[in-house]
Structure 1
Amino acid sequence: MKILMVVTSHDKLGDTGEKTGFWLEELAAPYYVFHDAGVTVTIASPRGGMPPVDPKSNLPENETESTMRFKDDQAAQDDLAHSRRLREVSVNDFDAIFYPGGHGPLWDLALDTDSIALIEAFVRADKPVGAVCHAPAVLADVKGPDGDFLVRGRHVTGFTNAEEEAVGLTDVVPFLLEDRLKERGATFRGGGDWAPHVEVDGKLVTGQNPASSAPAAEALLKLLKPS
């Protein structure tokens, strides 16, 4: 079993002068859900090489067992440091695809033509697609086999407007994820702020926030390994 994890290459938080990137927990927790289940994980990013980690996700108050394990895992660090260029990966080499969040994807992966084409290829191949927190933004411009937006009429979740307001970035992000998905016709369902919440609609899995990272990965894995 092989799963592709795709993270952002974008490191600028709008015009704030601050850094962003991917959220470490949202990579680390799913990475070990997959790894510990015997799945081979490959990490990719638009630019390849070492993707930018959101510095706030590295702060002590945001550390988890998964992030600490990831930091101490040399093989995992090597996987991350040598992420493959997104345009060089093929749907034929993987059984599923999973996108960790962080604010970075709102600026690059949401509009990345290679990413959009890759997700559309996974959908055509009836292979699971997962995304957590801000990463469901990668789905916004993806078209389904019928030519309409993939999320139209589908149950999805992601970082909510309320959560964006709570972190003070409503006026910084290029768009509000909840609004964008609703504009595309999705049935957006959020849980409580910062609480784990996952939506599964067919082979599409979305998680709301960092706490949803492992549960979303487990839901994706269940689609690959039904009990």
Structure 2
Amino acid sequence: MSKRILVVLSEYGYWGEELVGPLEAFDARGYRTTFITPTGKRAHALPPSLDSEYIDPPLGRSVTTRDMARRARALDDSSRLDNPLSLAELLPERPYFSSLNHLRELEDYHRRLATATTELLSGFDALVIVGGSGPIVDLANNERLHELVLAFVAADKPILAECYGVAALAFARDWETRRSILWGKHVTGHPKEYDYKDGTGFLGVEFNMGPPPYPLEYILRDATGPDGGFHGNVGKETSVIVDHPFVTARSTPDSVPSGELLVEVLENGLRRHGW
């Protein structure tokens, strides 16, 4: 039976290649792909990711080939990303502790959450969180996404996260222990050396963020703990880490190999790569 992949996209902009890379690997295997966003709005690519002339400030060169820009634009202009699923509609929101009938609401929340995650897990074999700067806004601290991530981990189903999408893994935590699910794991992600000093951009937000609001490397180093590790692989052209059930990709050029490695996880049981 064909594998089914659930792909999470930010409504504030994804990086074109970071969707194209995995998606083309899935298409080549005949996988069925479904897209989901925080509120069901259609996702769009960040304009610099469609521009082969754009010079990435930390790297001092273009990170998008003309061919990849063409493929990313064709996907973004197509109807394939229309009508995504909605995290807000499919997964309940944990009630505030100040709610008038908190205990009953919390019990109802757990019932509805169990039903929702069971239904989603029955329909999908893997979860993908696409990167770019958009996830900083609406995916990193999205509690509904955290619960979905926790459910995939509990079911031992793989999760691929790219670039700043990896932050959602660091913040997905058991409610009681508050320990990251990355504790003891090996991951990669956007290192400090590759972060912008200015001009971090989002779709629909008209102000200059400057640098990213948090350094992902520091968060991942803390989240993985003394027995895990963060691997920036600065100076190496690609950085993809597999530490089952997680496949993590550092940035744009890691998109194609990360998709290929997720296929290896699904087809051949790959559990470790890159460390």
Tell me the TM-score normalized by structure 2.
0.71
2:16 and 2:73 in contact (8 A); partners too: no
Quick one: percent identity of the two aligned structures?
A: 31
Match of 1:80 in 2: 81
Which whole-Å CA distance do the structure 1 matches of 2:197 and 2:237 have between them?
A: 14
Which whole-Å CA distance do the structure 1 matches of 2:198 and 2:257 have between them?
A: 23
Pair 214,71 (structure 1): closer, same or farther in 2 beyond 3 Å: same
Match of 1:139 in 2: 169
Are residue 189 (structure 1) and residue 219 (structure 2) matched?
A: no
Which whole-Å CA distance do the structure 2 matches of 1:194 and 1:67 have between them?
A: 22
Which whole-Å CA distance do the structure 1 matches of 2:40 and 2:69 have between them?
A: 21
1:57 and 1:63 in contact (8 A); partners too: no
Q: Pick one of 162, 166, 176 that aligns with 2:215.
A: 176
Match of 1:125 in 2: 155
Match of 2:188 in 1: 157
Q: How many Å apart are 1:145 and its aligned residue?
A: 10
Residue-by-residue CA offset, 1:110-162 (whole Å, 9 max, x unaligned):
11011000000000111001111111011111126994311111100011100
Larger radius of gyration: 2
Aligned-partner SS, 2:78? helix
Which whole-Å CA distance do the structure 1 matches of 2:171 and 2:261 have between them?
A: 23
Are residue 207 (structure 1) and residue 249 (structure 2) matched?
A: yes
Give the aligned residue type for 2:161: A
Q: How many Å apart are 1:68 and its aligned residue?
A: 2.2
Q: How many Å apart are 1:92 and its aligned residue?
A: 2.1
Which whole-Å CA distance do the structure 1 matches of 2:238 and 2:219 have between them?
A: 21
Which whole-Å CA distance do the structure 1 matches of 2:79 and 2:199 have between them?
A: 34
Which whole-Å CA distance do the structure 2 matches of 1:172 and 1:153 have between them?
A: 28
Pair 146,130 (structure 1): closer, same or farther in 2 beyond 3 Å: farther
Unaligned runs of 5+ in 2: 54-63, 92-119, 201-208, 270-275
Which whole-Å CA distance do the structure 1 matches of 2:156 and 2:71 have between them?
A: 33
2:11 and 2:41 in contact (8 A); partners too: no
Aligned-partner SS, 2:268? coil
Compare 181-190 and 155-164 and name the one that shifted more: 181-190
Aligned-partner SS, 2:262? helix
1:102 and 1:134 in contact (8 A); partners too: yes
Give the aligned residue type for 1:9: E
Query: Size of the alignment, in residue pairs?
Result: 216
Which whole-Å CA distance do the structure 1 matches of 2:66 and 2:124 have between them?
A: 28
Q: How many Å apart are 1:81 and its aligned residue?
A: 2.4
Match of 1:7 in 2: 9
Q: How many Å apart are 1:73 and its aligned residue?
A: 5.3
Pair 73,46 (structure 1): closer, same or farther in 2 beyond 3 Å: closer
Residue-by-residue CA offset, 1:19-73 (whole Å, 9 max, x unaligned):
xx11011011111111111100111110213113211111133245344235335
Residue-by-residue CA offset, 1:155-212 (whole Å, 9 max, x unaligned):
0001110000477659532201111111222510011347211111121100111000
Match of 2:117 in 1: none
Which whole-Å CA distance do the structure 2 matches of 1:144 and 1:203 have between them?
A: 16
